[in-house]
Amino acid sequence: MTSRTSDVQKILSEATHIFFDFDGPICDIFAGLPAPTVAATLRDYLAPLRLDLPGSITTETDPLEILRYAASAGPLVAATVEAGLRGLELQAALSAAPTPDAAEAIRHFHASGRRLAIVSNNSDAAVKVYTDRCALSGCFDLISARAVFQDPALLKPHPHLITQAVDGLDAAPARCVLIGDSITDIQGAQKAGVRSIGYANKPGKQDALAAAGADAVVTAMAQLIP
């Protein structure tokens, strides 16, 4: 299901603070350096440690899942994967593909006087590289993203990064809205007491995001602009 434009605009009109997930609503960070390639490279970094990797990790294509595994495998493994992933994300940010109409939506909300933040499981450095590259940094009041040696357990769907943005901007949670393309975004928003708009950028996502509890769902970032 896609929400009525009037529903989306009502939610946005009531928000004083608008939060954007990064990978999806703003860009495809792994457009030029695919996520499966990043995941495979992280496994290569671990090879010298001679680990007996779980079967699920030997075929995992999501770099963040490998990061979560590393955090449970000891400090050396965690540090190796974290450093490797940060470097690869920085490379990826240089070739990330902008999401259609995302920059226009961001600039619209910035011009309207709303305060904006990026809330992302990707590294803070990669987010900054991309926003600088696309001349969007000036639109955002805060970046709440994965810090160096961040405990992966505090990444979305945990509310930590969202609550960090709320507190950092001295906002009322009920007046904030998070725009995200994953179920974990919606779950994190609910836990933080923040409203959410699901961005269904692939077939089948509309119903999944709605079922997860999104307050509204759009299929294009242009639908956020009145």
Residue 119 — φ and ψ, nearest 5°?
-120, 110
Comparing 48-57, 120-129, 182-191, the range with the smallest average pLDDT is 48-57
Residue 204 — φ and ψ, nearest 5°?
90, -15
Output the pLDDT for position 3: 65
Higher pLDDT, 50 or 26: 26
Homologous superfamily of domain range 5-28+97-224: HAD superfamily/HAD-like (3.40.50.1000)
Place of tokens 């357990």: 153
Q: Look at the chain and count its residues.
A: 226
DSSP state of 23: B
Output the pLDDT for position 5: 59
Flag whether pLDDT at 4 surpasses 80. no
Output the pLDDT for position 1: 54
According to DSSP, the residues that pair with 98 across neighbouring strands are 27
Give 56-89 pLDDT, tens digit per residue.
999 999 999 999 999 999 999 999 999 999 999 9
The average pLDDT across 197-222 equals: 96
Confidence of residue 2 (pLDDT cuts 50, 70, 90): low
Tokens of 55: 């079967």
Higher pLDDT, 144 or 204: 144
Output the pLDDT for position 114: 98
Output the pLDDT for position 53: 92
Gap between the Cα atoms of 116 and 119, Å rounded = 10
The average pLDDT across 10-19 equals: 98
According to DSSP, the residues that pair with 17 across neighbouring strands are 115, 176
Secondary structure (3-state) at 21: coil
Give 150-204 pLDDT, tens digit per residue.
999 999 999 999 999 999 999 999 999 999 999 999 999 999 999 999 999 999 9
pTM (predicted TM-score): 0.95
Tokens of 15: 């928000």
Output the pLDDT for position 102: 99
